[in-house]
Structure 1
Amino acid sequence: MRSEGMRGVRLLSQQEIRCGQRWIYSAGFNVGRALADTGRIDEELPAIERLLDAGARVAVLSHQGNGVDDANELDFVADYIADRLGRTVGYFPGNATPDAVDRAHALRAGEAVVFGNTRKHAGEMTNSAELAGRFAALGDCAAIGGFSKAHRAHASNVGLLGHRPAFAADSLVHETGLLAPWAGSSDELYSVAVLGGVKPEKTAIGLEHLTATYDLVIPGGAVLNNLLRALGHDIGSSTVGSRPEKCLQVSRNVLNRANRAELHIPDEVVIARPTGRDFADARTIPVSRGVPSDYAIVDFVLAPWVCAKLDHLTSHGGRAFIAGTPARYTEGFTRASDALLGALGHDRVNALLLGGDTTADLPWNGTKSTGGGSALHYLAYGTCPVFDALRTNALRWEATL
């Protein structure tokens, strides 16, 4: 795999910032109001602070939630940034209206405003050129952060790059460097990937790619449920994610081909009956029995052979990561996750947790990446849509600024 990384991308850290310049800062905070994990905000703060210290006028764009119906206000993000930087940071609920442009133009040198949630617009996730043009009216040049959405061609990142000269923020540089030790296959390091959560990229990208490059892949969450479906097992009301047919097809392809990785399919799973937001009547059953229609898989039992492989990992060393919570950890089903975290926490293991949900759900003090799907995309392809767009942008505005 050839990794493009930051090749051909102009870096914000190498750009002279002039007092009074109008900048759009594209971030990917996507954090709930409880601020359970602020990593996606914190990694952008040094670059935002550098812009403000140089006298730039900064319009911050970000999203929160999974779509228009889940698009909440971001006033609490502005408050958090203000507290961390020790300076006033405004909030304006719009982002693509004449009033929003007026608010951006009213910024004084060294001031920032967080604008409203970009996912209030249906055109954000479809990379609407018209919406991207309205976002671009907030500034004259763009700093692109938000590694967590670098794998998504949205109006506020890729679309914006068609309208303004742009530079990669420090967070993108940091994340690609962070991921380097886990990229590609290795004949020297025993490599373990744990894939969970509910997002389809954990299957469509992670399962597809990592079974070809790693030594052991342990699926959980919707990844495991789709594999069990592909094997013909009844999974009851277990979650299968937002693109179940695509994930089912990928699962069948992986099961029917020769893979480098050994793939763990548990003999036993823990099931429970959903009762609103909770679960009741938990029990452990053989996978072969099938899950009753009113029950869901909430955890799984690691097979003895996998426990032996994890012992090998801890005794001989290697690399490993978790992308997506393997089971219903926050609801109290911790059996598989605790065993995996125990192995990955060993001092001989170079271990990483990927993604905001994963790092928020699991107790982990080690290395973390703010990207889930974006990290998997980068590990699989050596680039992301945002990096490709930044390379094109650099050629288009080569002499700008």
Structure 2
Amino acid sequence: MASDPGWQDPLAGVPLLSTRHVTAGERWIFSAGFNVDPGLNSTGRIDSEVADLRRLAESGARVAVLSHQGSHRDGTATALDHVAGHLSRRLGRPVRYVAENASDAAVRAAEALAPGELAVFGNTRHHAGEERGDADLARRFALLGDRVAVGGFSKAHRAHASNTGVLRLLPGHAAESLVTEVRFLAPWARRDDGVFRAAVLGGRKPEKTLVGLVHAMRTCDLVVPGGVVLNTLLRARGHELGASDAGSRPDACLDAVRGVLAGPARARLHVPRTVWAAPVDGQRIVGAARPVAVADGVPVGHAVVDFELEPWAAESLAGAERAVLAGTPSRYLDGQVRSARAILSALSGSTDRTLLLGGDTVAELPWAGPVSTGGGSALQLLATGTCAVLDALRENTRRTAADGSDPADDNVMDGVHT
């Protein structure tokens, strides 16, 4: 098969922490993606950063860890003391917890760190400006260190204050967890002639529509929408959907789907003839689901919770040479398993050629094949060959070179002294 002549290494021009000599006393900010609940039910996103944190500590660096959990928008952001405790156990050394991150007290705590000492600072999403990429908040974060190691591939697609924001202010390097995920996904981002590609897109996050569906319809041969992606598609086609979940950015997603339906597409789009609808109170299922013909519409007070996979789509999935499943297609944890089981069954013969994306997807669905917990980051990388953090790291290097300085040396960038 001929390789895609337009494909480029996503890590080209990205400075790597693994090649950076670290000396005792250096002040580092480690921008992580520890979006892990206080129950520590799945610690993979913490564990993936342990090797780099250990190397920094053993080299005598003073490390301020910035991370997030939950969201400011819906009030789910929690304290991160559970992360500090888990890291202490994994590293075999005390890891302090500092509840603040942008105050004068947080800066003093970071300055007081001893060589080899690490501290987890407060949840960055306690600030509304984090997810907006607020420049003033980024400037406060940047006072916690002199250089940045960027991990947290799960948020690499987001231009937030604690990752791309601080990279506009301080010299930065890609941590090994970020590099490992990008290298793992790079072959999936290639476009080889004659390869039949399929994408299953579910869940409720808007990037599954805004990035996943828009991209997949141009580059894949088959697209199977589920979850909010399917609900948005059915709305765009004029079907009544009762109280079905519209997601967090319904207008933007609806506009994107209408654009997809109106424009040229490579993929064949699976639109089920039958969905399963259940009575709901808000989004809580309060009664038994039943099959509903899409053409008849979903009754008032009911929501789509699953769908029937058409036989032709199951056959096409079974023959796919590359398949990506991003987002659970149904309300699987609520016992609505029809479409998910049909899709996984169709893909079961090609587990080495099927990739599951996203923390929730990987946690919810039974799957023994390749996985990436990146979710939106993986979708953006597959769609564009890059993501926001990689672009910021490349720009960081160009800016440093333009200043005539070495990224390994102390710098002054955009007014933040390092």
TM range (shorter): over 0.9
Residue 377 (structure 1) aligned with residue 383 (structure 2): no
5 Å-filtered alignment, 1:103-122, equals: 103-122=109-128
| Residues 52 and 176 in structure 2, CA contact (< 8 A), matched pair in contact too | yes
Shift of the alpha carbon at 1:135? 0.6
Shift of the alpha carbon at 1:35? 2.4
- Gap change, CA 1:278 and 1:285, over 3 Å in 2: closer
Tell me the equivalent position of 2:64: 59
Amino acid at match of 2:295: S
Cα distance in 2, alignment partners of residues 369 and 295 from structure 1: 33
Match of 2:355 among 349, 352, 356: 352
Cα distance in 2, alignment partners of residues 231 and 3 from structure 1: 37
Amino acid at match of 2:65: V
Cα distance in 1, alignment partners of residues 199 and 144 from structure 2: 41
Tell me the equivalent position of 1:393: 396
**SS across alignment from 1:70:** coil
| Residues 278 and 285 in structure 2, CA contact (< 8 A), matched pair in contact too | no
| Residues 3 and 383 in structure 1, CA contact (< 8 A), matched pair in contact too | no
5 Å-filtered alignment, 1:315-334, equals: 318-334=321-337
200-209 or 27-36: which moved more? 27-36
**SS across alignment from 1:152:** coil
Tell me the equivalent position of 2:302: 295
Cα distance in 1, alignment partners of residues 190 and 232 from structure 2: 25
Residue 37 (structure 1) aligned with residue 42 (structure 2): yes
- Gap change, CA 1:345 and 1:304, over 3 Å in 2: closer
248-257 or 259-268: which moved more? 248-257
Tell me the equivalent position of 1:226: 232
| Residues 157 and 389 in structure 2, CA contact (< 8 A), matched pair in contact too | yes
Match of 2:202 among 183, 196, 199: 196
**SS across alignment from 2:287:** strand
Amino acid at match of 1:183: A
| Residues 24 and 58 in structure 1, CA contact (< 8 A), matched pair in contact too | yes
Amino acid at match of 2:76: D
Amino acid at match of 1:357: D
Amino acid at match of 1:18: T
| CA-to-aligned-CA distance 1:216-246 (integer Å, 9 cap, x gap) | 1110001000000011111111111111112
Shift of the alpha carbon at 1:74? 0.7
TM-score (ref. length: structure 1) = 0.95
Amino acid at match of 2:72: G
Cα distance in 2, alignment partners of residues 100 and 365 from structure 1: 43
Tell me the equivalent position of 1:128: 134
- Gap change, CA 1:279 and 1:362, over 3 Å in 2: farther
273-282 or 143-152: which moved more? 273-282
111-120 or 369-378: which moved more? 369-378
| CA-to-aligned-CA distance 1:194-218 (integer Å, 9 cap, x gap) | 1011111111111111111111111
5 Å-filtered alignment, 1:97-176, equals: 97-176=103-182
Amino acid at match of 2:35: N
Match of 1:282 among 280, 289, 294: 289
Q: Percent identity?
A: 53
| CA-to-aligned-CA distance 1:348-384 (integer Å, 9 cap, x gap) | 6411111112112222232221211111111111111
Amino acid at match of 1:282: A
Cα distance in 2, alignment partners of residues 331 and 287 from structure 1: 21
Shift of the alpha carbon at 1:303? 0.5
Amino acid at match of 2:228: A
302-311 or 324-333: which moved more? 302-311
| Residues 352 and 370 in structure 2, CA contact (< 8 A), matched pair in contact too | no
Shift of the alpha carbon at 1:160? 0.3
Amino acid at match of 1:96: A
Pairwise CA RMSD: 1.6
| Residues 31 and 151 in structure 2, CA contact (< 8 A), matched pair in contact too | yes
Cα distance in 1, alignment partners of residues 12 and 32 from structure 2: 21
**SS across alignment from 1:198:** coil
Match of 1:212 among 218, 236, 245: 218
- Gap change, CA 1:91 and 1:348, over 3 Å in 2: closer
Gaps of 5+ in 1: none
**SS across alignment from 2:386:** coil
- Gap change, CA 1:319 and 1:41, over 3 Å in 2: same
Gaps of 5+ in 2: 1-5, 409-418
| Residues 184 and 213 in structure 1, CA contact (< 8 A), matched pair in contact too | no
5 Å-filtered alignment, 1:18-29, equals: 18-29=23-34
Amino acid at match of 1:301: E
Amino acid at match of 1:114: V
Tell me the equivalent position of 2:3: none
| CA-to-aligned-CA distance 1:162-187 (integer Å, 9 cap, x gap) | 22111011122111111122214333
Tell me the equivalent position of 1:312: 319
Amino acid at match of 1:341: L
| Residues 271 and 296 in structure 1, CA contact (< 8 A), matched pair in contact too | yes
Cα distance in 2, alignment partners of residues 279 and 208 from structure 1: 33
Amino acid at match of 2:219: T
